């Protein structure tokens, strides 16, 4: 059967069509998670974080006052703007990826349509050249009844094959038009996402500049500097009252932390930029109280409990930002401040080395670092005497 009814009219074209159709069929398959789904998950988590930061900013606006309150508010605004910029960038990435995938689908559809078009054109040319009389002779020409039935079955097969080819041509033509229309909409969405990302980045820079101006003023303006010192001293007294109120309420760990004096691990890696004790401001020669250690750990770095204990406070604290206080029993507590996020809550029992949160700059007057303090019977003590020598 090598004439009009041959089932191998154009082998190379048929292979091209088959390959294009297989790729098209694979577009929607696969059980593994796609990069698009992972991006959507990340953006969803980012949006939840934005809602949390907005609520936090509103709370700070209601309860924080004074110069340190303004620093805290601007810090919260900066964190919010940073997350909004990240979310906008993620959205832009998502739209770009979707548009690239849409273009890839269109290329595959066009390839399949081109392959079908060549085959259909070849079939039409053959029918035109040979005419319908060839088909009639094939079906009704002199032969046995078996030949007639075989020809009828084969003609039916070819008819179904051609009909299927035509249906595929029509369906994919509709899909191609729909994909093209959707791509136009997505291109408009790309422009909007790009504009939103630029707006968010601009707002972030404005917030960063505003906070930087205030921090510079605290360092360079004597009146603001003194106001900040007075506010810090009030915050330190409030911290002492909080520790006395909450400390000792829970039963301490089985081990006595006092027996491990000088052997405790550091809460975070990084150099100590300010040690325990009062310091003198280099410009105004004012005495600045500093009852703890400033550990210059990078933002986002984990900080850990120095010993077993129970978390008695984990929230925002005026002058300290996001703060964790751990009661180790026998009158000893440790304090970890300026966190970007807290990973332990009040009432949690923690063990030595357990992650309590991430380093940040909430409530900070100079960027990200971990402020670490220890108190015994409510009074500050030098943490360096409790921590192992580096």
What is the band of 7 on the pLDDT scale with cuts at 50, 70, 90? very low
The whole-number pLDDT of residue 134 equals 53
Structure tokens at 196: 């939103």
Against a cut of 0.85, is the pTM above it? Answer: no
What is the rounded average pLDDT for all residues in the chain? 81
pLDDT at 31 over 60: no
Q: What is the CA radius of gyration of the chain?
A: 36
Q: What is the DSSP letter of 258?
A: G
In tens, the pLDDT along 180-199 reads: 888 888 888 888 989 999 99
Nearest Cα to Cα of residue 301 among 265, 340, 264, 337: 340
d(CA 316, CA 55) in angstroms, rounded, equals 13
What DSSP string describes 195-220?
HHHHHHHHHHHHHHHHHHHHHHHHHH
pLDDT at 338 over 90: yes
Choose from 95-109, 171-185, 342-356 the range with maximum mean pLDDT: 342-356
The whole-number pLDDT of residue 9 equals 44
Q: Which residues pair with 94 in a beta bridge?
A: none
The whole-number pLDDT of residue 8 equals 42
What is the band of 373 on the pLDDT scale with cuts at 50, 70, 90? very high
Range scoring the smallest mean pLDDT among 156-160, 185-189, 322-326: 156-160
In tens, the pLDDT along 122-134 reads: 767 766 666 555 5
In tens, the pLDDT along 245-283 reads: 887 655 666 789 999 999 999 999 999 999 999 888 777
Nearest Cα to Cα of residue 75 among 366, 363, 370: 363
The whole-number pLDDT of residue 358 equals 96
* More confident of the two residues 355 and 158: 355
What is the band of 348 on the pLDDT scale with cuts at 50, 70, 90? very high
What is the band of 137 on the pLDDT scale with cuts at 50, 70, 90? low
Instruction: Please give the average per-residue pLDDT across 160-178, as a whole number.
Output: 75
In tens, the pLDDT along 57-116 reads: 887 777 777 888 888 888 888 888 988 999 999 889 888 888 888 888 888 888 888 887
Q: What percent of the chain has pLDDT over 90?
A: 34
pLDDT at 289 over 60: yes
Instruction: Please give the average per-residue pLDDT across 348-353, as a whole number.
Output: 96
- Owner of token pair 């006052």: 65
The whole-number pLDDT of residue 390 equals 81
CA 67 to chain centre: 32
**Does residue 381 contact residue 330 with C-beta atoms inside 8 Å?**
no
The whole-number pLDDT of residue 2 equals 40
What is the band of 177 on the pLDDT scale with cuts at 50, 70, 90? confident
The burial class, CB within 10 Å (0-12 / 13-18 / 19+), for 339 is buried
């Amino acid at each position: 059967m090598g004439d009009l009814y041959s089932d191998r009219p154009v082998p190379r074209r048929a292979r091209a069509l088959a390959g294009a159709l297989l790729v098209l069929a694979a577009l929607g398959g696969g059980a593994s998670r796609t990069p698009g789904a992972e991006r959507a998950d990340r953006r969803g988590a980012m949006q939840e974080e934005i809602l949390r930061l907005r609520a936090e900013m509103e709370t700070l606006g209601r309860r924080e006052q004074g110069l340190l309150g303004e620093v805290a508010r601007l810090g919260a605004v900066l964190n919010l703007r940073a997350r909004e910029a990240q979310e906008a960038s993620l959205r832009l990435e998502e739209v770009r990826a979707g548009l690239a995938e849409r273009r890839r689908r269109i290329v595959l559809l066009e390839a399949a349509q081109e392959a079908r078009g060549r085959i259909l054109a070849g079939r039409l040319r053959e029918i035109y050249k040979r005419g319908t009389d060839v088909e009639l002779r094939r079906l009704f020409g002199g032969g046995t009844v078996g030949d007639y039935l075989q020809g009828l079955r084969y003609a039916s097969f070819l008819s179904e094959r051609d009909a299927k080819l035509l249906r595929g041509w029509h369906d994919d033509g509709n899909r191609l038009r729909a994909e093209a229309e959707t791509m136009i909409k997505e291109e408009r969405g790309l422009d909007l996402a790009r504009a939103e990302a630029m707006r968010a980045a601009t707002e972030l820079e404005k917030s960063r500049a505003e906070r930087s101006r205030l921090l510079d003023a605290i360092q360079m303006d004597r009146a603001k500097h003194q106001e900040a010192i007075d506010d810090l001293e009030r915050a330190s007294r409030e911290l002492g009252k909080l520790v006395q109120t909450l400390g000792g309420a829970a039963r301490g760990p089985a081990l006595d932390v006092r027996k491990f004096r000088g052997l405790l691990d550091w809460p975070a890696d990084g150099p100590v930029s300010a040690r325990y004790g009062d310091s003198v401001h280099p410009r105004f020669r004012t005495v600045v109280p500093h009852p703890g250690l400033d550990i210059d750990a990078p933002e986002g770095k984990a900080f850990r409990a120095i010993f077993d204990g129970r978390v008695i406070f984990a929230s925002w604290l005026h002058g300290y930002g996001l703060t964790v206080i751990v009661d180790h029993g026998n009158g000893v507590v440790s304090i970890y401040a300026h966190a970007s996020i807290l990973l332990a809550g009040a009432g949690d029992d923690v063990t030595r080395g357990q992650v309590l949160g991430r380093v940040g700059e909430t409530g900070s007057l100079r960027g990200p670092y971990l402020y670490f303090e220890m108190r015994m019977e409510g009074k500050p003590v030098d943490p360096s005497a409790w921590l192992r020598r580096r």
